[in-house]
Structure 1
Amino acid sequence: MDFSLTAEQRQIRDMVAEFVDEEVKPRAAEIDETDEFPADLVDQMAELGLMGMPFPEEYDGAGLDYHSYAIGLEEIARGSGGLGTIVAAHTSLAGNMLYEYGDEDQKQEYLAALNRGDDIGAFALSEPGAGSDVPAMETTAEKDGDAYVLNGGKLWISNGSVADTVTVFAKTDEDAGPKGVSSFVVRPEDDDGFHVEGTEHKLGDKGCPTAELRFDDMRIPEDRILGEEGDGFRHALETLNGGRITIAARSIGLARAALEDSLEYAQDREQFDQPISEFQTIQHKLADMDTKIQSAKLLMHDAADKKIRGEDFIKTAAQAKLHASEISREVTNEGIQIHGGYGYTTDFEVERYYRDAKLNEIYEGTSEVLRNTIAQRLLE
């Protein structure tokens, strides 16, 4: 798809790719091994403007279009799936919540700090009993004078243990179903009653802490609500729709990493007196891997294009995320197969790509839920 990129989009791609090759890829195995949040790499990305890519310069963002943002995130994920999730959760979820639904004061105070990389953002929606079923959440926010008091807990929160700004969803009316959910800005350092219960030990996505949070009589000022009471369910759905484009980007980045490594390995590895790339079976695998990646890219950019134009992009974003996440698993799996026994060891990176890729089919809408979304749109 390079032929369709503008000069600015190619410049963004090349700049991020260079940073990833020089700074991220040499650290990726270490990040995977230690599972520590790579704060220094996040600081470097902030200096490059990569922590606020799609937001206007008036809020200290980079002012890039959504194509450029997706391209940038694809490159970051090519280097490290965990780093890709850190940026996606920070930008597409926390940042977008503030940009779309925050008032001017909230944008200047909270969004600008996220865009500069001074603060890290998180998006706290899921609960032990409320994943895809958002209205089943049990976290409550009760109005008390000029404040709200939050009680409850959240699970699976990317960046949750390192975040400075968290957009939290809670019920302000427990009897109103979806219309009783509201969204708030929470500041862990400032808000007494905010507790990190711990972080998950995961199959992949290392370096991005996935936290369990608890709120005990956490009192926040009333001006921390985003929009009006009852807007939260809509906020969550609309934000996740946009976020799916960038999960597609993360998926494509991981698949590309597997293809690039497999192309190199297939030409270096010799069996029966010739490189294994000379065998038609391997050639067909490589051809299928690239074809899947290119088709996923087209869907991703189609969704980004509709978003930029202000068109309905819900179905296209769901298709992009669904297809890209599934081909990501398939392509990284084939990468292991091409590497043979070596691919199953940590001596080569393809096993990490495979572990990182699986998450794409689960978060920000499972493949099953996305198929429901696509079918509902078709039936309408």
Structure 2
Amino acid sequence: MNFALTEEHILIQDTAREFASKELAANAEALDAGVAAAESVFFNNLKSLAELGFMGLNVDPEYGGSGVGTTAFSLVITELAKACASTAVTVSVTNMVAEVIQSVANEQQKQRYLPLICSGSYPAAGFCLTESNAGSDPSAMKTRAVKDGDDWVLNGGKVYITSAEFAGVFVVWAVTDPDAPRGKGISCFLVERETAGITIGSAEHKMGQKGSKTNTVFFDDCRIPDSALMGELNRGYQVALGELAGGRIGIGSLALGIGKAALEYARDYIKEREQFGQPLANFQGLQWMLADGFTEMEAARLLLMQAAGIKEAGGDYAQAASMAKLYASEAANRACYTGLQLLGGNGYVREYPLERMARDVRITSIYEGTSEVQRMIIARNLLK
């Protein structure tokens, strides 16, 4: 496989890098601190990212997307995450929702929702799968959708929903046949944010990625038309599993971006910081820490490019995506702590970005499937 980037890929990567360095990086610290003005900038940046075509990277231009593929998606998320993980995760999840609509929805649903997502008319879109007792095992979900005449009535709740406060539309999974075998009686629906019966809970007080709002979404006798059903009735669980695999490429890419940013900052720091009469970069022990970290980041990048390439070729990419997400997220966690260690005491204070990066990266080995779940998926494939 040729891992060289095309001219189009390089142009997209450069565009993302330039936007991230000029617009996202300067706002990241204030956004993390909860400064109100920074939230306004955050929303303006989301609109600008949509105008650049970054909210529908793998969506056909017929529906307002860019249609540039999964490799470009990975490159964009990596560059955005180097500057602001909170923005990157919003873009990643919104792209995931757009992709599931494109792959599963009927033509009328695609024509209605995809242009709104890709254009930025909806600042974001929400992926409502996880529940309080159905996280790593979504087949255990309790949210119900009951047919009532020409409508469905939703009742239940979804937790840890990225961008729920400002998502224009949600893809919601619910049990539609409670008597079916586990995972067989689940369907998915397109539910607009302003539908009666939806309540968005307060934003979670998180350790990191604070600029990305994460909320519980409650459905209380939420009535939606039969036309909201997306895909086949009682076949929604298979849809969720397929889309999570694609989402793992996004989160792996996000982790890669944070890890690379941490190591690059630490590298530049130790070239300038002096101890014992010479730059820290002269000490072999610190040199080896950098060498190991950058080597792991390059291995993560190649795993992500492989998974993206298999997906673009129409192959079965689930195992490759799990391997890439597992390795990238774990290696990025190590990279951030290596970077923090290289800064010494300065790495532990908010004046320097390593403290934020170390908090932001931690969730990457948890959401879109924990590292333990990725190992289960990989092992299951190996033992078939």
Length-normalised TM-score, structure 1: 0.98
Q: What SS does the corresponding residue of 2:219 show, helix, strand or coil?
A: strand
Counting only pairs closer than 5 Å after superposition, residues 1-380 of structure 1 correspond to structure 2 as 4-34=4-34, 37=39, 38-92=42-96, 94-119=97-122, 120-176=124-180, 177-189=182-194, 191-380=195-384
Contact 1:55 1:62 in 2 (8 A): yes
Tell me the amino acid that sits aligned with residue 8 of structure 1.
Answer: E
Contact 2:3 2:305 in 1 (8 A): no
1:217-249 CA-to-partner distances (Å, cap 9, x unmatched) read 000010111111111100100000111011110
In structure 1, stretches of 5+ residues that fail to align are none
State the distance in 1 between where 2:231 and 2:69 align: 25
Q: CA offset at residue 2 of structure 1?
A: 11
Q: CA offset at residue 162 of structure 1?
A: 1.1
State the distance in 1 between where 2:284 and 2:92 align: 38
Distance 1:329 1:149, change over 3 A: same
Q: What SS does the corresponding residue of 1:248 show, helix, strand or coil?
A: helix
State the distance in 1 between where 2:260 and 2:100 align: 30
Contact 2:172 2:189 in 1 (8 A): yes
Contact 1:81 1:250 in 2 (8 A): yes
State the distance in 2 between where 1:2 and 1:51 align: 27
Q: Alignment identity in percent?
A: 39
Between stretches 319-328 and 112-121, larger displacement belongs to 112-121
Contact 2:157 2:219 in 1 (8 A): yes
Between stretches 36-45 and 192-201, larger displacement belongs to 36-45
Tell me the amino acid that sits aligned with residue 180 of structure 1.
Answer: G
Contact 2:60 2:67 in 1 (8 A): yes
Contact 2:58 2:67 in 1 (8 A): yes
Tell me the amino acid that sits aligned with residue 222 of structure 2.
Answer: M
After TM superposition, where is structure 1 displaced by more than 4 Å over at least 4 residues in a row? none
State the distance in 2 between where 1:142 and 1:87 align: 32
Contact 2:92 2:247 in 1 (8 A): yes
State the distance in 2 between where 1:279 and 1:102 align: 57
Between stretches 370-379 and 108-117, larger displacement belongs to 108-117
Q: CA offset at residue 199 of structure 1?
A: 1.4
Q: What SS does the corresponding residue of 2:221 show, helix, strand or coil?
A: strand
The count of corresponding residues between Structure 1 and Structure 2 is 378
State the distance in 2 between where 1:109 and 1:78 align: 33
Contact 1:35 1:208 in 2 (8 A): no
State the distance in 2 between where 1:132 and 1:280 align: 42
In structure 2, stretches of 5+ residues that fail to align are none
Q: CA offset at residue 351 of structure 1?
A: 1.1
State the distance in 1 between where 2:119 and 2:233 align: 29
Tell me the amino acid that sits aligned with residue 181 of structure 1.
Answer: I
Contact 1:35 1:207 in 2 (8 A): no
Q: What SS does the corresponding residue of 2:190 show, helix, strand or coil?
A: strand
State the distance in 2 between where 1:153 and 1:118 align: 26
